[in-house]
Structure 1
Amino acid sequence: MGNSRSATRVVTRRRRVGQRIEILSGDGQRGEAGGRLPDPLVVRLLDAQGHPVVGRRVDFAVVRGGGLLDTGGEGKRRIAVETDEAGEAALSFTLGRRSGAGIHRVRATAVGFGGEAFFHATAMAGAPDRIVAVSGGNQRGIAATPLSEPLSVLVVDSFGNPVRDVPVTFRVTRGGGNFDGNETILVTTNDDGRAEAFLTLGGEGGIRNNTVMADFPGLAGSPAFFALSGVLPGDPTDTRITGVVLDNANVPIPDATVSVEGTTRTAVTDGEGRFLLSGVPVGFLHLVIDASTTTRAETFPKLIFPLIAMAGVENTIGMPAFFPPLSGTWQEVGGSGEVTLSMPGIPELTVTVAPNSTSFPDGSSVGLLSVSQVNLEKVPMPPPNASLFVPAGTIQPPGVRFDPPARLSFPNTRALAPGEQAEVFSFDHDIGAFVSVGTATVSEDGAQLTSDPGFGIVKSGWFGVPTPPPPPTCANGCDDGNPCTDDRCENGSCVHDNKTDPYTPP
């Protein structure tokens, strides 16, 4: 048993005196994202004796979320309504496009009346609209064995909100693989709109010789598509890792140091940025690429890539290792004053570090920090949910912790509505994945987004704000492995038409 302690506190609720505003109805409603709430928002004005006050102005304002208010006309962020003979003022509220519990908020006030009335509403995702492959594609694995990572899909509504409880069918279309011995498996999406399944590859080796499709009932668009490669293992002592190290302009970075964490295996990139590590261990490992050792004039960071090395074959991270030059101005942070760093090329993107809030990896509380821009399509680690970061950047050196979180502000390049929110992600090197660090809200003039109070960057490294998941594209090819369909790419999406039988009986 642990220690315990009890205490008693007496709380006395005092009734508000004088003229006041109170909520009559409409608080705590639920509705579909982008849709109008079923009931109006209603407040009442009362005088000091509790009698209704007629003909007085009540100011309603959306203070959180991208919703709009209306009294039967055009939707607006702010509307004034006069109280009727019952002292009541009412209007309708159309939710913003983002789903979430209680994230849409309206405030009602009246001059001369004490207090404020706050309405909170929950937006629910709409009907499932499309499905995208978010991770697990383009894997390589030992033939006839399970892949190391699951095939993962995301189901979203028309606004990009994740939809839960959708039955997703994963179907093997080529290569002879299986899901627990079956060609198909049914998985229901979780609270994040995701469904995952582990595939056992077919028994033959080949490039993209195993394909899987995933869809759900009623899907009007293209299914999610995965292409996987089977590998026939070789001599474990001949296990290799190869790759190429480039900057954001695809220019090679020579003399970068490449190593396998926890081993003595090292290599240096050549003039074309290529490297080869021989005799590496088999299994899960961390590939460390330190581009700061390059002979180029620019300064580059060090990155760590997780990798599963297969025995006796040439292994890669699946893409070039892209490194952005650290072009930002280095400023001292962690002292007694607030410091704001601006991103070169996007001066409207700023990171504000609070006084006495930093902890550097070497244990010091004061040090130098910079923020640099990253090519949107060349973030070293894949952004979450098959999205594209807009914007994308990196705070260096990595591993600096911020408490409270560093405030992030950036231009509204996605043309989100005032009050709308976007989720901010930061790469956590400890777990090797992007994690959400909270939301940012669009300013009332629509120009900027700023991380909400209590949220922001908690650890330096790569960061970005993802766009909603894009519709499926033809990037992975359109061959679904079905000999009875004609497969083609049309307007950026795969189309699979049933073939007509060319044989006509005599």
Structure 2
Amino acid sequence: MSASAPSTLHRFAFGILIPSFLFLSNPARSQNFEGDSVIQVVEGRQGLAIGDLNGDGETTFVDLFLLSLYWQGDITQLESTSPAKHETDIAISRETILHFNGALDESTVNGNSIFAEFGGELLGTHLNLSPDHQTVTLFYNEPLPPSARIRVTVDGNRLKNDKGLLVDVDRDGFPGGVELIDFDTLTLTLLPGTSVFGRVFATELATVKGSTQSVNVPLEGVRISVDGLENVLFADTDALGNFRLEPAPAGAFFVHVDGRTVSESLIDGATVSTSFPNGYYYPYVGKKWESLPGRETNIGTLFLPLVIPGTLHPVSESQDTPIGFAGPVLAEHPEFAGAQAIVPADSLYADDGMRGGMVGMAPVPPDRMPGTLPSFMMPPILISVQTDGATNFDVPVPLCLPNLPDPLTGVPAPPGAKRALFSFNHDIGDFESVGFATVSQDGSLICTDPGV
């Protein structure tokens, strides 16, 4: 719904109350018309099906009046879903997210109004409602079955907004309705001879003692596991950073590359113990890989950035929490001063519903990140947002980054300029555009636009 929608809705309501703006499909039966009759709001050029809104068994002008009251209020709609309807290759560990354009009545957000099924059987789930009551996350108690058609039902006849009105879940302009969201999970088939292999290095290079030559630092003990089958399909890197996952699912599948299991690393020429979350540690990242059935597939080289002590900070449940770079990072990169993320109050939560935790930011060199950037992307900076376990934010986290020179032109963006912001979506295993950011008036920072 566009920003002009509220005024449009009020104009519709005005038209409904003034007969000259109406076209009745059967005006001769003005006192008692059939339930499938249609009122067309001529000014808005939108048709609305009229039903028995007051439940008296008849469709009369009383129901028409009730309809006008609905239109005079702000109709809350289901705005978007993730996964989208008919989306395929969904990870069996993925949650379902429902975004609404208005606040919901918390008492109606339950297993009767929102539920999931496979093969006609209910799936065990638990629901999380965001603090602004506009986002519902459906977490599954067990991994979803592979090679399955999952159906999520959103019943707008049971779901209400914070004004007590039914929610328009099927986006037909009329309160209520039922929306069915069908999506297909990945096929996790194991075939003999199917394997993937690769290696994992630290993002940071090490200098060979007695020379100026830099070399890669292999990470031993990184755990690579298949999403949803973590205790069955996994591999650990050896002393050279090599791993081999065999057997591996045939075709597309999702993995987690977990650097938190590394026990030590070479840092500034010295072997240092690593300890998540308060000491030095390497993060975990989600990836989407694809194997060739019956063959071995080289995934290539992955880089994991070192997270230094002091990066993570507790976030508040009662007030917004500013998060900046750790002191040693600012000492090495003074141009990062002023950069920060503002974590909204009570917005961080884990899949089990536990709220709160710690959040931090760490810079990542674009050419040594846990994956490959799309060819069209040449960012001057990449930021890794780290947590101590929780992976969900109820609402967008406002972010301000240093306005660094463009890698191609060598010139930073001018004040007021817009730049696209991309984020790595672990659910789909790829980068996606999440909105725009604007350069500050003094030109030092580039900050996400409201709602991004």
Q: TM-score, normalised on structure 2?
A: 0.47
The answer to which structure has the higher strand fraction is: 1
Q: TM-score, normalised on structure 1?
A: 0.42
Q: Which has the larger radius of gyration?
A: 1
The answer to which structure has the higher helix fraction is: 2
